[in-house]
C-alpha cells in the first residue's frame, strides 16, 4: 500500500494537461470535476485529457498566477478540496470529500453501479454503490476503499498508478513567426511564459527565432465548449433573490454536482434536482408565472423554493434543508426524519467548502 500511495501521489506531477490520444484516465475525470466546480470545465466528465480539459486548466492557472501547462501539485492545491488527493493516496470512507472520491464515482458510474452526481462527496449513494461493486467483486462489502478493494479496482478498471516516462505536449496550435516577433511577445500574446513556450518547442530561449518558423503555442481558451457556466448562474440567482450563495452552491453540488441533464429515479431534474411538483408550486403559488424550462430557469426555480423554505422556517437552515429533502409539511408535523439528518449535515458541511 505504501508503494502504491507514493506512485499515485506522483501521478499529477508528471501528467500533462492534455495527451494526444483519447485515452480515458480516471484520474483526469477527478480533475475535470474540480474544474467544473470552478465554472471552467463545462464538457462531459469523460476522463480524457483533451483540448477542453487543457484549456480549462490553463485558464485556471492564469487566473491564479500559476505556471501554465501541467496540472501539477500547486495547481491541484489551488483548486481547493476537490483538487486533491489523487486516487489511491488514502483509504476512503463515508463522509470523505476530494478528487479521489470524484474518481471513485466516475469508476462506479462506468461500471453501472452509480447514477448520482459526480460531486466528490462519499455520501449515502456513493457508499451504497461501492458496497454493491465490492459484493460483485467478491470483496468485503463495507463501503470502505481500503488496500484490497483499491488494488482490485486499480487493476480491473485500469487506473494509472505509474507516472508517464515522457510527458506529451499540451494542447497547442501552430503559430508562424512574423517580422518583429520574439519568444517574449509570442508568449505574452498566447498567455503563457517564455520558458513554457521554449519547452513546448524544445528551443533555447537565449537564441533568436526565425521569420517563418513554425512554433506550437498553447491552445486558446476559446476551445472551451459553449455550455452553461452553472456556478455563475447559481451565484447570479443567489444574489438576485438574497440567498447565501455558499448554501446554494453546496445544495446544488450535493444534488447534482452541477450536472445540468441529470434526472433522478423519481423524476427530479437538473442542477437543483427539483421535482415537477416543486416547479408547479413555485410557478403557481410563489411567483404566479411560468418559468422557462432551461438550465437558468431550473436554477431560478430551485433558489426560489429554497428562499421560500428559509422564510417559512425563519432562517433556520437545518429546517429549510430538511424541508427541501423530505417536504415542508412533513417537517412541520413530524420534524426531521432520521434519514434526512445526514443530508442536512452533509450540505451544511459542504457549504464551508463551496
Which CATH number does the domain housing residue 325 bear? 1.10.530.10
Residue 224 lies in a domain: no
267 in the same domain as 149: no
Secondary structure (3-state) at 119: coil
Cell of 204: 533555447
pLDDT at 10 over 60: no
User: Do 137 and 177 fall into the same domain?
Assistant: no
- What pLDDT does 331 receive? 95
> Taking 60 as the threshold, does the pLDDT of residue 137 lie above it?
yes
Pick from 22, 54, 122: nearest CA to 82: 122
User: From CA 156, how far away is CA 150, in angstroms rounded?
Assistant: 10
Per-residue H/E/C for 263-297: ECCCCCECCCCECHHHHHHHHHHHHCCCCCCCHHH
Question: Residues with Cβ < 8 Å from 335, sequence gap 6 or more?
Answer: none
pLDDT digits (tens, 9 = 90+) for 88-112: 888 999 989 999 999 999 999 999 9
Q: Tell me which residue range forms the domain holding 283.
A: 230-351
Q: 115 with 234, same domain?
A: no
Contact 174, 142 (CB under 8 A): no
Place 160 in a pLDDT band, splitting at 50, 70 and 90: confident
Per-residue confidence band for 342, with pLDDT thresholds at 50, 70 and 90: confident
Q: Is the peptide bond before 114 cis (omega within 30 degrees of 0)?
A: no
| Choice between 226 and 121, residue whose per-residue pLDDT is larger | 121
Is the distance from CB of 346 to CB of 121 less than 8 angstroms?
Answer: yes
Alpha helices, DSSP H only, in the chain? 2-14, 26-37, 51-63, 73-78, 99-110, 124-136, 147-156, 183-190, 194-201, 230-241, 245-256, 276-281, 295-312, 317-326, 328-333, 341-351
Phi, psi (degrees; rounded to nearest 5) at 283: -70, -45
Asked whether the beta carbons of 127 and 177 are under 8 A apart, the reply is no
Does residue 165 lie within any of the structural domains?
A: no
What mean pLDDT is predicted for residues 142-151? 89
> Quick one: average pLDDT of 235-253?
92
Location of C-alpha cell 467478491: 138
pLDDT (0 to 100) of residue 48: 87
Instruction: Say what the alpha-carbon torsion angle 157, 159, 162, 165 is, to the nearest 10 degrees.
Output: 100
Q: What does the pLDDT read at residue 19? A: 39
Radius of gyration of the chain measured on its C-alpha atoms: 23
264 alpha carbon, distance to own chain's centre: 19
Is the CB of residue 108 less than 8 Å from the CB of residue 92? Answer: no
Look at the chain and report how many structural domains it folds into.
3
Q: Which of 32, 34, 30, 118 is nearest to 78 (CA)?
A: 34
Give residue 173's pLDDT band: very low, low, confident or very high (50, 70, 90).
low
Compute the distance between CA of residue 219 and CA of residue 57 in angstroms, rounded to an integer.
11
Same-domain pairing of 133 and 201: no
Average pLDDT over residues 2-10: 37
Sign of CA dihedral 203, 206, 210, 212: positive
CATH of the domain at 192: 3.10.350.10
Whether residue 248 sits in one domain with residue 149: no
- Predicted confidence at residue 1, as pLDDT, reads 39
Same-domain check for residues 152 and 12: yes
> What are the tens digits of pLDDT across the range 245-278?
999 998 998 888 888 877 777 788 888 999 999 9
pTM, rounded to two decimals: 0.64
pLDDT at 140 exceeding the cut of 50: yes
Task: Please say if the pLDDT value at position 18 is more than 50.
Answer: no
Closest CA to 336 of 35, 301, 328: 328
- Cβ-contact 87, 100 below 8 angstroms: yes
Residues 187 and 274 placed together within one structural domain of the fold: no
Query: At a CB cut-off of 8 Å and minimum separation 6, what does 264 contact?
Result: 273
Residue 309 to residue 297: CA distance in whole angstroms: 19
- Spell out the residues 6+ positions from residue 6 whose beta carbon is closer than 8 angstroms to its own: none
Mean pLDDT of the chain: 82
Q: Has residue 23 got a pLDDT over 70?
A: yes
| Domain CATH code at residue 87 | 1.10.101.10
Percent of the chain with pLDDT over 70: 85
Calculate the CA 316 to chain-centre distance.
29
Signed CA dihedral, 253, 257, 259, 261: sign only: negative
Tell whether 237 and 326 lie within a shared domain: yes
At residue 221, does pLDDT exceed 80?
Answer: no
Q: Is residue 167 part of a domain?
A: no
Same domain, 86 and 185: no
Question: Which residue shows C-alpha cell 434526512?
Answer: 340
Is 165 a residue whose pLDDT tops 50?
no
Segment 48-94, tens digit of pLDDT = 888 889 889 999 999 989 888 878 889 999 998 899 898 988 899 99
Which one-letter DSSP state was computed for residue 180? T
244 by DSSP, 3-state: which? coil
Amino acid at each position: 500500500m505504501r508503494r502504491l500511495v507514493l506512485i499515485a501521489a506522483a501521478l499529477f506531477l508528471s501528467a500533462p494537461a492534455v495527451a494526444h490520444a483519447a485515452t480515458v484516465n480516471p484520474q483526469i475525470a477527478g480533475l475535470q470535476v474540480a474544474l467544473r466546480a470552478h465554472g471552467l470545465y463545462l464538457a462531459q466528465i469523460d476522463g480524457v485529457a483533451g483540448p477542453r480539459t487543457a484549456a480549462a486548466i490553463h485558464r485556471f492557472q492564469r487566473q491564479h498566477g500559476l505556471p501554465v501547462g501541467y496540472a501539477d501539485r500547486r495547481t491541484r492545491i489551488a483548486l481547493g478540496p476537490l483538487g486533491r488527493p489523487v486516487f489511491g493516496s488514502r483509504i476512503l470512507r463515508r463522509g470523505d470529500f476530494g478528487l479521489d472520491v470524484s474518481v471513485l464515482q466516475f469508476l462506479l458510474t462506468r461500471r453501472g453501479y452509480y447514477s448520482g452526481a459526480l460531486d466528490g462527496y462519499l455520501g449515502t449513494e456513493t457508499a451504497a454503490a461501492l458496497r454493491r461493486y465490492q459484493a460483485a467483486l467478491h470483496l468485503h462489502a463495507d463501503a470502505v476503499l481500503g488496500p484490497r478493494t483499491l488494488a482490485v479496482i486499480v487493476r480491473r478498471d485500469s487506473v494509472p498508478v505509474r507516472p508517464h516516462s515522457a510527458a506529451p505536449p499540451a494542447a497547442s496550435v501552430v503559430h508562424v513567426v512574423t517580422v518583429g516577433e520574439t519568444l517574449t511577445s509570442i508568449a505574452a500574446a498566447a498567455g503563457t511564459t517564455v520558458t513554457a513556450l521554449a519547452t513546448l518547442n524544445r528551443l533555447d530561449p537565449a537564441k533568436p527565432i526565425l521569420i517563418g518558423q513554425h512554433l506550437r503555442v498553447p491552445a486558446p481558451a476559446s476551445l472551451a465548449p459553449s455550455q452553461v457556466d452553472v456556478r455563475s448562474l447559481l451565484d447570479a440567482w443567489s444574489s438576485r433573490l438574497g440567498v447565501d450563495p455558499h448554501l446554494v452552491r453546496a445544495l446544488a453540488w450535493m444534488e447534482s454536482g452541477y450536472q445540468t441533464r441529470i434526472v433522478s429515479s423519481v423524476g427530479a431534474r437538473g442542477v437543483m434536482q427539483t421535482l415537477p411538483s416543486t416547479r408547479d408550486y413555485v410557478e403557481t403559488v410563489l411567483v404566479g408565472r411560468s418559468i422557462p424550462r432551461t438550465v437558468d430557469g431550473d436554477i431560478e426555480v430551485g433558489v426560489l423554493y429554497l428562499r421560500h423554505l428559509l422564510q417559512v422556517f425563519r432562517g433556520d437552515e437545518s429546517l429549510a434543508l430538511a424541508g427541501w429533502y423530505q417536504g415542508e409539511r412533513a417537517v412541520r408535523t413530524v420534524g426531521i426524519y432520521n434519514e434526512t439528518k445526514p443530508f442536512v449535515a452533509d450540505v451544511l458541511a459542504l457549504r464551508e467548502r463551496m
